[in-house]
Structure 1
Amino acid sequence: MTAECNSIFIEEIVEFLNYFFVVERFAASERGGVYLPSLRPVRRLGLALEPGLQLQKWANSQNLDALFLHRPWKLETEQIPPEIGVISYHLPFDECLTMGFNPRLAQVLNMSNLEVLGEKQNRAIGMIGEIPTQSFTHLCSCVTQVFGGQEQVHPPIDNDVTRIAVVGAMTDALVHEAAARDIDVYITGQLRQPALAAMRESKMGAIAIGHRRSEVWGLRTLAGVLRERWFSLEVVTFR
């Protein structure tokens, strides 16, 4: 088999990610894909959240052929080596690989019997699932191990936790819906002030991991997905 047949090109990666993220669910302007085209074969792919001075130094040192950016809008072409292709997915990445209906995260948290919690434009905002009975302290420890930390914690009335919600937003309506569906702990990116009154009224606990931590978890997961798809692709993640 020729080297050309084994080569990976940016369009192939985008085709795969379009399928992985199910981009047809999103408006055309939000689907993502190729941000800066390149004809260069991709042997080393870098993953990062956004442009910046540190990313520029990192990209120059990593001998990259292409770059994945979650938020590419402030990227200037002189910030990356020449002929580097750039891929970008924003909303599809957030909804598939951070807080929301995220089956890969559900596996990590030992969630089963998944159900949808909340919808926006016919897409799930969050998920509900059962977990092995454990204390709130144990769940907090697990979440910290998964995401590398947490920002805020609101203990539940009852210490035993069997049902949790992982949600990409926190509103009064979502909190009330979770409480009505017997959720013990509500896990999200940030505890939103308008919804805290509803949280206090319920018996639920809450864990806010921080939006950036959820994105970093998504990048690490995406790196694994890409390595599973292409044996020869070297994937490096900027932290």
Structure 2
Amino acid sequence: MNRGQLATYLETELQVARVRDYCPNGLQVEGRNEIGRIVTGVTASIALLEAAIQLQADAVMVHHGYFWRGEDMRVIGQKQRRLKLLLQHDISLFGYHLPLDMHPSLGNNARLAQVLGLLPEGRFGEDNIGWLGQFDVAGVTTIGDVAAHVAARLGREPLLIGDPAQAVGKVAWCTGAAHSMFDQAIAAGATVYLSGEISEPTVHLARETGVAYLACGHHATERYGIAALGEHLAHTFGIEHHFVDIDNPV
């Protein structure tokens, strides 16, 4: 597949132009023109790039790419090492941040809902990035049940702030570093909020409002969208796809 055609397709499918973001979405590093094999992963780390080189990938596609707002613009240190690997091996890098979070079927929030057995019923937050719904899982009736279920499905213990015995009502979720949206989830009527990260003020807000908070891991909650996007491209265009999960405890 032609690199430009792939970039154009993804720009339309992910509605890149309508999203305000902290980084450029789309083609970030230009490699060879024809793409027959892609590697997807959460973050464009050196470990992921080295795996892509071993797999002889033509392109790498990630949720966390490069060139974030406010970062040092100089090509030195780790940035130089990462870019050098891509350029030496003529591998393209595509990055999709908030557009991938928001996609209604391939996005991180949509796919996390599938993994956890959540039935979406609504949205909240800027651009409706946060999701609302309820569990459709037998035996998940308390906040403690939610924590155990999340641990089993994601393969890591979430940090729970709240009463494990509290009944589960409306569930809100937003993957990654969405702890800043906790107050919006509360305003939307959630009894429990699932996200990736947690901050110091989040603990007090959970305790004071009685709305439980589960920090489920930034990486752990964002593995599924990029993998789904790769599979979608493989099915749609007949290209080869490999998802590489570089473990991250955060």
- Give TM-score scaled by structure 2 length: 0.75
Q: Any idea what SS the aligned residue of 2:163 has?
A: coil
C-alpha distance 9-145 of structure 1, shift in aligned 2 (>3 A): farther
Between Structure 1 and Structure 2, the one with more strand by share is 1
Task: Say which of 205, 210, 235 aligns to 2:241.
Answer: 235
Aligned pair 1:71/2:65, yes or no? yes
Task: Say which of 55, 64, 74 aligns to 1:62.
Answer: 55
For 2:83 and 2:185, the matched residues in 1 are separated by 45
Deviation at 1:87, TM superposition (A): 1.6
Q: Any idea what SS the aligned residue of 2:233 has?
A: helix
How many pairs does the alignment contain? 222
Aligned pair 1:170/2:163, yes or no? no
Which position in structure 1 is the counterpart of 2:226? 219
Rg larger for: 1
Which position in structure 2 is the counterpart of 1:37? 30
For 2:84 and 2:4, the matched residues in 1 are separated by 22
Which position in structure 1 is the counterpart of 2:207? 200
Which position in structure 1 is the counterpart of 2:45? 51
Task: Say which of 126, 131, 144 aligns to 2:130.
Answer: 126
C-alpha distance 145-21 of structure 1, shift in aligned 2 (>3 A): farther
Amino acid at match of 1:18: E
Identity %: 23
2:142 and 2:164 in contact (8 A); partners too: no
* 65-74 or 175-184, larger mean C-alpha shift: 175-184
Which position in structure 1 is the counterpart of 2:72? none
Task: Say which of 183, 192, 207 aligns to 1:185.
Answer: 192
1:128 and 1:163 in contact (8 A); partners too: yes
Deviation at 1:159, TM superposition (A): 3.2
C-alpha distance 9-110 of structure 1, shift in aligned 2 (>3 A): same
Which position in structure 2 is the counterpart of 1:24? 17
Amino acid at match of 2:151: T
Q: Deviations over 1:157-177 (max 9, x none)?
A: 653313200035224xx5444
- Give TM-score scaled by structure 1 length: 0.78
Aligned pair 1:117/2:111, yes or no? no
Structure 2 gap ranges (5+): 68-78
C-alpha distance 155-29 of structure 1, shift in aligned 2 (>3 A): closer
Q: Any idea what SS the aligned residue of 2:141 has?
A: strand
* RMSD of aligned Cα (Å): 2.8
Structure 1 gap ranges (5+): 1-7
C-alpha distance 180-36 of structure 1, shift in aligned 2 (>3 A): closer
Which position in structure 1 is the counterpart of 2:143? 136
C-alpha distance 113-37 of structure 1, shift in aligned 2 (>3 A): closer
* 195-204 or 70-79, larger mean C-alpha shift: 70-79
Deviation at 1:10, TM superposition (A): 1.8
C-alpha distance 21-148 of structure 1, shift in aligned 2 (>3 A): farther
